Chain A
Amino acid sequence: MGAIRVPSPRGAFRVWQRNVTIFRKYWKSIMFPNFVEPLLYLAALGLGLGAFIQQGGINGQSYIQYIAPGLLASNAMFAASFESTFNTFVKLKIDRIYDAIITTPINAEDVVAGEYLWAGTRSALYGTAFLAVLTVLGLGFGEPLVSSWWALLIPPMLLVIGVMFSVLGTLFTSLIERIDLYAYYFTLVVTPLFLFSGIFFPVEEFPAPVPQIAWFTPLYHAVNVCRALATGPSPEVLWDVAWIVVFTGALALLPVQIMRRRLIG
C-alpha cells in the first residue's frame, strides 16, 4: 500500500481516448464559451481600456498587443482548471465513471494521468483556435497580435501549461468532498493568478516583493513563455519553461496517490 504508484502510459492513453470520444461528439458546444471568453477580454480591455492608455503602450507594444499572448496562457489555465475540477469531480463522485474504469485493467493512477493529458489536450486545442483568431485579427487591425514564427510552438507549450494546471486542479479535487468548495479554488487561486501574473500589466515594475511573489506562481511563467513566443523569444524564456516543467513534475504524483486512496478502499 505504501509504495508510490506510477501510472502506466497505456492505461492513461485509454482514459484520454475515452474523453476524446466524448469530446468529438460535443466539441462545438463544449468549445464555444471557452473560445468566446478571451475575445471578450480582448475587446473590453484591449480595445476599450487600451484606448485610454498612452501612445507607446507597454514595452513598445500597444495595449492590445501586450495582453493578447497573456490571454492565451490564461485561457489554457481556465480550460485545464475546469476540466480538473468540476468535470473530474462529476466523474469521480456523481457519475462514478472512475469506479467503472478501475474494475478493468486500468488502475486508479492511470485514470489521473489520463485526465492530466486530456486537460492538456483541451488547453492546446482551445489555444490553437484562439491563436488563429489572434493572427487574423492582427491582420485586420494592421498591428500584428502575433508577430513571430516562434508562435507555432505555442500550442505544444499550452499542452504543458494545461497539464500543469490540471495537476493543481486535481490536487484540490482529490482533497474535497463537496463540489461547492471549488468557489474557494477559483476565488483564491485561479482569479488572483489571472489578475496578477503579468497579463494586464508588467508585474516586474512593481516594488519588491511583488515580482518575487509572482516568480513563485505558475501562470506568471506561462504568460512569459506565450508572450515571448508570440513576439520572438530571447533565451531567457527557457528559465520559464524549466520552471513549468520542474513544478509540474514535482507535483504530478501527489494527486495520483491521493486519488488512488479515494478510489481504492
Chain B
Amino acid sequence: MSTEAKELIGTQSKTSTLVARNLKKSYDGFEAVRGVAFEVHRGECFGFLGPNGAGKTTTMKMIYGAVIPTAGELEVAGLDVRRCERDIKRRIGVVPQENNLDDDLKVKENLLVYGRYYDLPRKLALQRAEELLDFVQLTEKADSKVEQLSGGMKRRLLIARALINDPEIVVLDEPTTGLDPQARHLVWDRLRALTSEGKTLVLTTHYMEEAARLCDRLVIMEGGLIIAHGSPKELVEKYVSPQVLEFRARPEDLERLRPVVEAVSDHVERTGEALLAFTSDADALMEEVRESGIEVENTVYRQAGLEDVFLRLTGRRLIE
C-alpha cells in the first residue's frame, strides 16, 4: 500500500461511515479498480473525481452492492459489503448514472412502489413521497408520466426516489451529467440541503465546479487508482500555485514567450492556443512579459482551481 493510502486511512475514527482498504475489482483480467483506500466521515460530502474509465462508477457500485469486490475490504455504515448486502441497501440511497425510473408508473407511483421495496407502511410512504416531491420541486408533476419529464426533472425524481427510505448515506453517480445549467444549479442546491440535514453524500463527477462547490473532501482517480486526495482547497494548494495567467498569441509568439515565462513561473503548460503560467506573483510575471516586448493578444488572470489540479494530475490528453 502506498504511503498516501495509509495516510488517507489514518486511524479509523468513530465518525467514519464508509471505509475502504485495498479495494480491488477486476473483470476477466481487466482491473477496473486496482487497490483503493478511502474513508468517508459521517455528514460530509465526499467526491470521486476522474476521467471516464477511472474506476469511479465501479467503486460506487461496490458500495451499493451491484458489483462484488475482487479483493480488499469495504464497510458501509459499519457493515461488510460481502456479508450484509441487504442491511446496507436498507440504509443507503442510490442515484445511478443512467436513468432507470419505472416508465410504466407515474411520477408519484415511482416513489410509492419504491417505498414498498423497503417495506414502508403505505401511509408513511405516501407522506414521504409528498414531502420528497416538494423537496425536489416536482409536486405539480406528481400524476405525470415519467416520459413527459425533462432530463433535469427525471434526475430530481431519481434523487427523491433515493431518499424514500430516509437513508444515512446517499450515493450519487454523476448526478448532473447532461443537465442544463439551471437544472444543474437546482440539483446542487438540493444536494447542499441534504448535507445540511446531516446526510452523508458520496458522489462522482467530472465537473470540477461541482466538486469544488459540493465536496468537503474528494479523491482524484485515474486508471483504477486514487492519485490525490484532500479538500478542494488543500488540493489546489498542494498541486498548483494560486494564480494563473493565460496568454494568447500567435503560435510563434507563444514559443518565444515560453522561456520568458518559464524563468519566473512555478509551472508552465501549453494548450492548443494558450500558454498557462502558474505563479504566486502574477504582477512580477506580467512585468517580465511586458519587458520582453513579445506581442500578446490577450491575457487572462484568474485564481487556480480544481480543474488545474485535475489537468495537472491526469494530463491534458484525451482519456477514453
Contacts and interface: CB of A to CB of B under 8 A. Distances in A.
B101 interface: yes
6 contacts: A95-B103, A100-B96, A100-B100, A105-B87, A107-B85, A265-B27
Contact of A265 (B68, B90, B100, B114): B68
B61 A97 contact: no
B210 interface: no
A101 interface: yes
A104 B115 CA distance: 9
Interface size class of B (residues with CB under 8 A): 20 to 34
Contacts of A22: 104-105
Contacts of B89: 103-105
| Residue from B58, B96, B104, B109 having most chain A Cβ neighbours under 10 A | B104
Contact of B98 (A1, A96, A97, A102): A96
A94 to B, nearest CB: 10
A25 B27 CA distance: 41
Given A265-B61, A265-B68, A101 B119 contact: no
Interface stretch (A10-18, A130-138, A175-183): A10-18
Interface in B102-130: 102-105, 109, 113-114, 116-119
B144 to A, nearest CB: 15
Interface string A114-138: 0000000000000000000000000
A14 B100 CA distance: 18
A190 interface: no
Contact of B118 (A25, A95, A105, A265): A105
A106 B114 CA distance: 10
A102 B65 contact: yes
Interface string A208-232: 0000000000000000000000000
B67 A103 contact: no
Contact of A264 (B58, B65, B100, B118): B65
B66 interface: yes
A264 B66 contact: yes
A187 interface: no
B94 interface: yes
A17 B66 contact: no
B105 A104 contact: no
A18 B66 contact: no
Given A105-B90, A265-B68, A17 B96 contact: no
B90 to A, nearest CB: 5
Closest 4 CB pairs of A and B: A104-B117, A265-B67, A96-B100, A103-B94
Interface in A193-245: none
B317 interface: no
Given A10-B119, A265-B61, A103 B102 contact: no
A45 interface: no
B86 interface: yes
B102 A264 contact: no
A104 B111 CA distance: 12
B278 interface: no
